[in-house]
């Protein structure tokens, strides 16, 4: 019931993104356990996962299946900017909403980073066999990350070989401090406990190694920057440990920050629609299995992973309850937006976090009050020119953000933008959908690393 | 994409409520098309639907299946009050949340109504073969409505016989003005257009017939009362036409009104999680079929009924877009809460209405600001003593409102009650789940009719 992936061995099918969002718009059943995608029309997959792993487990079959994953769009760092990778696979099947996602130039700040000629010798991914770890490697490839070498660390997958078009065959290693310190940058997709113990030891050393941590271990530490690179990356990516925000925070932040800069937030009220993937592979598996059993045997089995049945239900609890009656997932949004945006205590942020029976990508209904007068047209223009955001907001064509469309996209979709009938000309309401494995985790970490490379140059 | 059931012939399986919420907590697959419930352990069904209907259609099989519907709890109008009917079937299968729903005494105002010795000769249901029409008949039975005779009017089902334990065999009739005016009360579960044309003609006549209308036709007419009986029923149920609110409004109103009376609402900000059933039988069928095809063939077919794919997705649009960027479904909440509560223009209400892939019962995340200081403990006590509401709010046992539990219940569940970190001691946040076919439609209409009977006495 947590948004983070807490163990290095946790695993989530990245293939899910692809079959949900493939051009034929169909979600083949139970890709984690079958070979439904074996005859996929989407060929030319980069074989970055070894065909067999030592131990046949749920995560192993996931990895094996990834061989049929469609090729990510390799982004060339050119003079004009960086192509947004992976966008080409993101379309849904319904005729009215089916469309090719326009590849667009990334916003200037991101472009500048990758345009830099700087380079590092090695990047390490600790927890490389987990859902986020795998996405991190995909992001390094897709974004043409300026390094020649990637080292992968994972406990159970150690010894297996991951094939990478850009970085060659990579033999997965057991984690060791010595090996980690042979990388200039280590991306951590591990538990908070692991990070608490090892991050301070990894950072520094002979190569002045930097840690980009995806857990919540360091997020609220006053000496550790908490970074969404497009928002507050400048001047913070030289730290020994840089922390990634919670996925729900990161998805909402992409739309909220440009608005805050121009209109100054006073209040943020958020209700979320969070996918099973936010709880990791087990959450997705339970949703898939529950629906399959319902179809085949006429019944949804008792839940084992989630506290309550997720198929045909919504669960208004994610992560543990706090003393104030909010869950930790909800308070993360409050705490992290304040830290990332540098909000004063006068700015109030609240969230209701709800799990819904979807597979991947989180959505958020957001109502804001601002200090300055605000209006939908100006905000649409503002967001169209903001990094990491795509405005999908055309009532006439029934276009608005939806998790199926946001899946596999680097950009967070923003739409349903309207003047708030509660806060009048100082208020706005809107809806966002974003791939929380990308913006809320792997992509965010990799862009931080890109900025770190630039700073190190 | 509308909350109302717009045609007299629309149909929705009331059995759905039962198999979702049966003690074994399992949702048999595709009950609309199969005989999955044939061997149900829940026996003693009231055979109030004829075993065969003239034309084999989707709605016909639905009706046929209802023969295996579990017996509703027949509520006896006693001296102490009315038992809340149907509650016994509402429990879900997960061990932690599985529990018998405590039958509780209905609140004083509702009890008073049924305690009255008053009676009418005949109640008519126009649109009796639709989802809401069927629920209306079930409510009349379950609540031991003070009439000896019920007449059913439906176009396609005319000529078939509906069996009712309380009201005997009822032959469904074609609608006629003359027949309708032979009933003291007509419950309309028909389209807005039908109601616009016929309600003014039905009302009055030799028996001073009253119309209780479930469509939106008369809701905003200044001469027509818009009634949630526990809230504003007193003095309004003698009108010729009494209007039922939209389901989303009605579900939220049950929790909001007691709070408003005591603390005075200033702002209401709502985000919804609305089930496929809100769009009628076709919506549920498309969700079920989509999931079944996904399991069997590995793909979700293109949507035909919803604008976008609902399985594994959420759709942030219900009903048509208005000029202000809100949808009509969202504005109904604003308009109707104002009218039902008698709110001044200073009180601001907004809603974001979102369809989620669940079958039945709507949920709402609600944030309020109040004029008076407010706190969660007092509100829990207040709501425990409010009619039509059940407080489900125990973080320690992971108890909170969920649509699976609310399905088939007359009461709206309220929980996640917490002091708002945005509005401080003048604000509250909470979550509600309610069966929109009951509270938002059939039950609400039948309680209005009960009050009307009392007034006529």
Task: List pLDDT tens digits, range A430-456.
Answer: 999 999 899 989 999 999 999 999 999
pLDDT band of A53, cuts 50, 70, 90: very low
Q: Which helix (H) or strand (E) holds B109?
A: helix B108-115
Report A:201-220 residues touching B (Cβ under 8 A): none
Residue A422, sorted as left (phi over 0), alpha (psi -120 to 50) or beta, turns out to be: alpha
Q: How far apart are alpha carbons B51 and B49 in whole angstroms?
A: 6
Closest A-chain CA to B276: A312
Q: ipTM value, please give it.
A: 0.79
Kindly state whether residues A340 and A445 are assigned to the same domain. no
In the annotation, is B362 catalytic? Answer: yes
Which segments of A143-245 does DSSP mark as H helices, in order?
Answer: 177-180, 192-202, 229-232
Least CB–CB distance from A267: residue in B325, B418, B422: B422
For this structure, is B247 an active site residue?
yes
CA gap B357, A99 in Å, rounded: 23
Q: Are the beta carbons of B321 and A269 separated by less than 8 Å?
A: no
A20 touches chain B (CB under 8 A): yes
Q: What integer pLDDT is reported at residue A410 of this predicted model?
A: 95
133-152 in chain B: CB under 8 A from chain A: none
If we measure between CA atoms, which residue out of A106, A198, A107, A213 comes closest to residue A441? A213
**Does residue A10 belong to any structural domain of this protein?**
no
Residue closest to A253 by CA, chosen among A265, A241, A243, A242: A265
Whether B300 and A354 lie within 8 Å, measured CB to CB: no
Q: Would you call A300 and B422 a contact, using CB atoms and an 8 Å cutoff?
A: no
Do A99 and A125 lie in a common domain? yes
Q: Could A271 and B418 be called an inter-chain contact, meaning their C-beta atoms sit closer than 8 Å? A: no
pLDDT digits (tens, 9 = 90+) for A364-403: 999 999 999 999 999 999 999 999 999 999 999 999 999 9
My answer on whether A201 and A311 are in the same domain is no
Residue from B24, B271, B331, B427 to probe the interface with A (highest A Cβ count within 10 Å): B271
Strand stretches in A78-203, DSSP E = 120-126, 147-153, 161-164, 168-171, 185-188
Q: Both A77 and A156 in a single domain?
A: yes
Alpha carbon distance A154, A7 (integer Å): 10
Q: Is A421 found in the same domain as A447?
A: no
Question: Cβ contact (<8 Å) for B398 and A291?
Answer: no
Q: How far is B324 from chain A (nearest CA, A)?
A: 7
| Catalytic choice (A247, A260, A351, A426) | A247
For residue range A141-152, list pLDDT tens digits in order. Answer: 999 999 999 999
Contact at CB, B358 and A313, closer than 8 angstroms = yes
- What does DSSP assign to residue B427? E
Distance CA A248, CA A279 (A): 12
Q: Do B295 and A300 touch (CB under 8 A)?
A: no
Helix (H) or strand (E) holding A290: helix A281-297
Q: Is B429 on the interface with A (CB under 8 A)?
A: yes
The two three-digit tokens of residue A395, written as one number: 């009532």
Chain A stretch 72-131, residues whose beta carbon is closer than 8 A to a beta carbon of chain B: 92-97
Is A290 found in the same domain as A156?
Answer: no
Check B294 against A291: CB less than 8 A apart. Answer: yes
What pLDDT is recorded for position A130? 86
The nearest CA of chain A is from the CA of B28 a distance in Å of 3
* Residues B96, A267: C-beta atoms closer than 8 Å: no
Q: Distance between CA atoms of B306 and B299, rounded to whole angstroms?
A: 17
Greatest Cα-to-Cα distance within chain B, rounded to the nearest angstrom? 61
pLDDT greater at residue B449 or residue B46: B449
CB contact under 8 A, B291 and A295: yes
Distance of CA B39 to the CA centre of its chain: 28
Residues B15, B36: contact at Cβ < 8 Å?
no
| Stretch 36-55 of chain B: residues touching chain A, C-beta under 8 Å | 36
Domains identified in chain B, total number? 1
Share of chain B above pLDDT 70, in %: 74
Q: Assess if residue A33 is contained within a domain.
A: no
Nearest partner of A128 among A139, A140, A117, A137, judged by Cα: A137
pLDDT for A257 equals: 98
Same domain, A199 and A292: no
In a domain, A9, yes or no: no
Say whether both A211 and A334 belong to one domain: no
Of the listed B122, B139, B186, B247, which one is catalytic? B247
**Pairing between strand A168-171 and A161-164?**
antiparallel
pLDDT tens-digit profile of A276-303? 988 877 899 999 999 999 999 999 999 9
- From the list A32, A57, A240, the residue with the least C-alpha distance to A154 is A57
Q: What domain range includes position A360?
A: 249-437
Mean pLDDT over A233-250 rounds to 97
Asked if the C-beta of A395 comes within 8 angstroms of chain B's C-beta atoms, the answer is yes
| Contacting B residues, span 372-391, partner chain A, CB-CB under 8 Å | 376
pLDDT surpassing 80 at residue B183: yes
Within-domain flag for B379: yes
Residue in B369, B15, B413, B169 with CA at minimum distance from that of residue A350: B369
Domain contains A8 = no
Would the pLDDT of A314 be above 80?
yes
Pair (A229, A113) in one structural domain: yes
Please indicate, yes or no, whether residues A229 and A355 belong to a single structural domain of this protein.
no
| Residue A2 lies inside a defined structural domain of this protein | no
**Do A261 and A323 fall into the same domain?**
yes
CATH code assigned at B399: 3.30.360.10
Which of B3, B186, B362, B426 is an active site residue? B362
- Over residues B10-32, the mean pLDDT reads 31
Q: Do A273 and B315 touch (CB under 8 A)?
A: no
Q: Residue A8 has what DSSP assignment?
A: T
Q: Which residues of B54-78 are buried (b: 16+ CB within 10 A; e: fewer)?
A: eeeeebbbbbbbbbbbbbbeebebe
Nearest CA in chain B to A314: B402
Distance CA B423, CA A347 (A): 11
> In this complex, do A402 and B267 lie within 8 Å of one another by their Cβ atoms?
no
Residue A98, pLDDT score: 29
Contact present, A3 and A246 (Cβ < 8 Å): yes
Identify the H or E element spanning B153.
Answer: strand B147-153
Comparing CA positions, the residue from B222, B218, B262 lying closest to residue B241 is B218
**Chain B residue nearest residue A321, CA to CA:** B395
Model pLDDT for residues A68-118, shown as the tens digit of each residue: 222 222 223 222 322 222 222 222 333 223 232 233 333 333 434 444 468
Mean pLDDT, residues B201-205 taken together = 98
A77 and A220 share one domain: yes
pLDDT value at position A47? Answer: 23
Given A183, A351, A362, A426, the catalytic residue = A362
A354 contacts in B (CB within 8 Å)?
Answer: 273, 363, 365, 431
Q: Is residue B57 one of the residues assigned to a domain?
A: no
Closest in B36, B94, B314 to A363, CB measured: B314
Q: What is the pLDDT of residues B73-126, one digit of tens each?
A: 222 322 232 222 222 222 233 322 323 223 333 333 343 444 446 899 999 999
CA angle A132, A138, A139 (to 5 degrees): 85
Residue A7 lies in a domain: no
CATH code assigned at A120: 3.40.50.720
- Percentage of the residues of chain B whose pLDDT score is greater than 90: 72
Interface membership of A348 toward B (CB under 8 Å):
yes
> CB-based contact (8 Å) between A4 and chain B?
no
């Amino acid at each position: 019931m947590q948004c983070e992936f807490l163990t290095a061995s946790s695993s989530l099918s990245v293939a899910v993104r692809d079959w949900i969002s493939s051009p034929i718009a169909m979600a083949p059943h139970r890709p984690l356990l079958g070979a439904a995608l074996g005859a996929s029309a989407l060929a030319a997959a980069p074989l970055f996962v070894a065909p067999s792993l030592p131990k046949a487990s749920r995560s192993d079959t996931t990895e094996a299946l990834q061989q049929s994953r469609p090729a990510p769009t390799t982004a060339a760092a050119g003079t004009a900017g960086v192509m947004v990778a992976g966008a080409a696979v993101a379309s849904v099947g319904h005729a009215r909403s089916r469309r090719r996602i326009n590849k667009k130039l990334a916003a200037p700040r991101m472009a500048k980073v990758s345009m830099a000629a700087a380079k590092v010798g090695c990047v390490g991914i600790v927890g490389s066999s987990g859902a986020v770890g795998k996405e991190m490697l995909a992001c390094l490839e897709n974004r043409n990350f300026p390094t020649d070498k990637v080292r992968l660390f994972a406990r159970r997958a150690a010894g297996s070989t991951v094939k990478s078009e850009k970085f060659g065959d990579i033999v997965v290693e057991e984690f060791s401090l010595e090996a980690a310190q042979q990388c200039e940058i280590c991306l951590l997709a591990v538990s908070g406990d692991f990070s608490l113990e090892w991050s301070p030891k990894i950072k520094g050393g002979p190569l002045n190694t930097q840690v980009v941590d995806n857990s919540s271990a360091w997020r609220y530490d006053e000496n550790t920057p908490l970074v969404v690179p497009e928002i507050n990356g400048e001047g913070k990516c030289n730290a020994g440990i840089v922390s990634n925000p919670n996925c729900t925070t990161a998805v909402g932040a992409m739309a909220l920050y440009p608005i805050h800069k121009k209109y100054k937030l006073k209040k943020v009220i958020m209700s979320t629609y969070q996918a099973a993937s936010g709880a990791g592979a087990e959450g997705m598996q339970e949703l898939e299995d529950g629906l399959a059993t319902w179809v085949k045997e006429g019944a949804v089995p008792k839940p084992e992973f989630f506290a309550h049945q997720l198929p045909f239900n919504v669960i208004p609890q994610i992560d543990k309850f706090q003393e104030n009656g909010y869950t930790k997932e909800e308070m993360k949004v409050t705490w992290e937006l304040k830290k990332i945006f540098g909000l004063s205590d006068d700015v109030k942020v609240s969230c209701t976090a709800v799990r819904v029976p979807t597979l991947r990508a989180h959505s958020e209904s957001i109502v804001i009050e601002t200090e300055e007068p605000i209006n939908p047209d100006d905000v649409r223009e503002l967001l169209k020119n903001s990094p990491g955001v795509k405005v999908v907001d055309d009532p006439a064509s029934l276009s608005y953000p939806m998790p199926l469309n946001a899946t596999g996209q680097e950009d967070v979709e923003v739409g349903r933008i309207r003047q708030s009938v509660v806060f009048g000309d100082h208020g706005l309401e809107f809806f966002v959908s974003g791939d929380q494995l990308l913006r809320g985790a792997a992509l965010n970490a990799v862009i931080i690393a890109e900025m770190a490379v630039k700073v190190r140059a």
